[in-house]
Amino acid sequence: MKYNNKNYTSLWYKNGVVKIIDQTLLPENFKIIDLTTTDDIINAIKTMKVRGAPLIGVAGAFGVYFAFKEYNGEDDHQKLNNKIIELKNSRPTAVNLQFAVDLVYDHALNTNYENPEEDALDKANELFDSEIKACKRIGEHGFKILNKLEVKEYINLLTHCNAGWLATVDYGTASSPVFEAAYRGLDIHVWVDETRPRNQGGKLTAWEYFHEDIPHTIITDNAGGHLMRNGEVDIVITGADRIALNGDTANKIGTYLKALAAYDNKIPFYIAAPISTIDFNMKSGKDIPIEIRSENEIKFSGNTPLNHTLSPALNHGFDVTPARLITGFITEKGIFTPEQLKELKNGKKQTSIT
Ligand code: MRU
């Protein structure tokens, strides 16, 4: 998607180097940095220079390639294995990271042991391409929902956090239907939740929409309920970090409250996510690991105190929205109710609700 009228993906691979846009510096600075080792990838994920469930999956996939490059001696298997585990655990909640690392690692180990490094790179590149295509398809399916909404003048969509192109490789998940709608001429405006404490909505989602000329307004995290009660929200779409088999969904902290408010106001609440975000091994949301991040993210912005810094703070990164509050899942394979998700397991034939 566009930044200053030039097209970018949020990460790309070229000649042994993974290039990323450093998301901790946006929107003030647009800086591309080079990652060349597994530790670079792990650090970029931990410090959230790369973030967003599908994107950390793709970054992890290239991390496996670096690991095979770094541990290629006959006695290195244990070290390689340990590094892969460290990579997989660099953030706990988004299942895409574990999915992608396992995918590439298993492929490289099982394909042709002559050159696992090349096999890992091929698989990482394949995942890169397939995540872009999945996000584009999510946009096309999501467009069908937006196109059917009965609205006054234009569609008012509310979103939380950043599930845009920065969080994926391109197009985004929750943002992809918005881009598709705008491209096909629907009038749309997005309420962008600020998303405390790191402000991924106010800093990243707003930056993306600004550079794509999508009408949008940043709101505080507490404003959504008020707007919903006043009839100023037609639909809510967010991304996801992990979807359990029963449809319970982990996403950025605050998503649950938006789903509750949407339910109370009879506003459709959709999750947009690629199939790689569904954890088919997890029966319900109660087992999803919730990341707890540093209390300093709540107390400070950079070095500036925001709250009483001597008080303790508790910083859950995610919450779980129960399936009963979710109208449907917009995936690359179509739109599904929570009950239909299990049909997607093992690529079983599925019937989309649209
Ligand atoms: O902690 P973050 O910034 O990685 O959290 C990201 C989110 O919660 C996104 O909404 C989610 O990963 C979906 S990304 C398409």
Using one digit for the tens of pLDDT, what is the confidence trace for 110-132? 887 678 999 999 999 999 999 99
The answer to whether residue 354 is domain-embedded is no
Distance between Cα 95 and ligand 1 center (Å) = 11
Q: Is 301 helix (H, G, I), strand (E, B) or coil?
A: strand
- The whole domain housing 21 covers 2-131
Least confident of 72-81, 95-104, 125-134, 285-294: 72-81
178: confidence class by pLDDT, cuts 50, 70, 90: very high
Q: Is 338 helix (H, G, I), strand (E, B) or coil?
A: helix
Ligand 1 atom having least distance to the Cα of 53: 12
CATH code (residue 309) = 3.40.50.10470
Are the C-beta atoms of residues 76 and 52 closer than 8 Å to each other?
no
Q: Give pLDDT, residue 348.
A: 54
The answer to whether residue 192 is domain-embedded is yes
Q: Give pLDDT, residue 97.
A: 97
Are the C-beta atoms of residues 202 and 192 closer than 8 Å to each other?
yes
Residue 66 pLDDT more than 90?
yes
**Residue 115 and residue 161 share a domain:** no
Ligand 1 atom having least distance to the Cα of 173: 15
CATH code (residue 51) = 1.20.120.420
Q: Give pLDDT, residue 114.
A: 79
Residue 88 pLDDT more than 70?
yes
**Residue 101 and residue 203 share a domain:** no
**Nearest CA, atom 4, ligand 1:** 52
The answer to whether residue 171 is domain-embedded is yes
Residue 241 pLDDT more than 50?
yes
**Nearest CA, atom 6, ligand 1:** 52
Probe residue for ligand 1, chosen from 58, 136, 138, 161 as the CB with the greatest number of ligand atoms within 8 Å = 161
**Residue 219 and residue 198 share a domain:** yes
d(CA 333, CA 142): 11
* Residues known to be catalytic: 241
Q: Give pLDDT, residue 343.
A: 87
**Residue 103 and residue 41 share a domain:** yes
**Residue 156 and residue 113 share a domain:** no
Distance between Cα 273 and ligand 1 center (Å) = 11
**Residue 148 and residue 125 share a domain:** no
Residue 11 pLDDT more than 60?
yes
The answer to whether residue 147 is domain-embedded is yes
Residue 34 pLDDT more than 80?
yes
Ligand 1 atom having least distance to the Cα of 200: 3
**Residue 318 and residue 223 share a domain:** yes
**Residue 147 and residue 102 share a domain:** no
Q: Give pLDDT, residue 111.
A: 81
Q: Any idea of the CA torsion for 195, 199, 200, 204, to the nearest 10 degrees?
A: 130
Q: What percent of the chain has pLDDT over 90?
A: 91
**Residue 127 and residue 75 share a domain:** yes
- Which of 86, 102, 131 terminates a domain? The answer is 131
- Which of 97, 131, 165 terminates a domain? The answer is 131
Q: How far apart are the first and last CA of the chain?
A: 27
Q: Give pLDDT, residue 349.
A: 47
**Residue 298 and residue 219 share a domain:** yes
Residue 351 pLDDT more than 90?
no
Q: Give pLDDT, residue 350.
A: 56
Distance between Cα 318 and ligand 1 center (Å) = 9
Distance between Cα 49 and ligand 1 center (Å) = 13
Probe residue for ligand 1, chosen from 200, 204, 315 as the CB with the greatest number of ligand atoms within 8 Å = 200
Q: Give pLDDT, residue 61.
A: 98
How many structural domains is the chain composed of? Answer: 2
The answer to whether residue 351 is domain-embedded is no
Distance between Cα 181 and ligand 1 center (Å) = 22
Q: Give pLDDT, residue 158.
A: 98
Mean pLDDT of 41-45: 98
The answer to whether residue 353 is domain-embedded is no
The answer to whether residue 7 is domain-embedded is yes
- Rounded to two decimals, the pTM is 0.96
**Residue 294 and residue 214 share a domain:** yes
Ligand 1 atom having least distance to the Cα of 318: 8
Residue 341 pLDDT more than 90?
yes
* Residue 285, burial from CB neighbour count under 10 angstroms (0-12, 13-18, 19+): buried
The answer to whether residue 350 is domain-embedded is no
**Residue 295 and residue 323 share a domain:** yes
- Which of 77, 101, 131 terminates a domain? The answer is 131
* Binding pocket residue ranges, ligand 1, CB within 6 Å: 51-54, 94, 161, 163, 167-168, 173, 200, 239-241, 251-252, 317
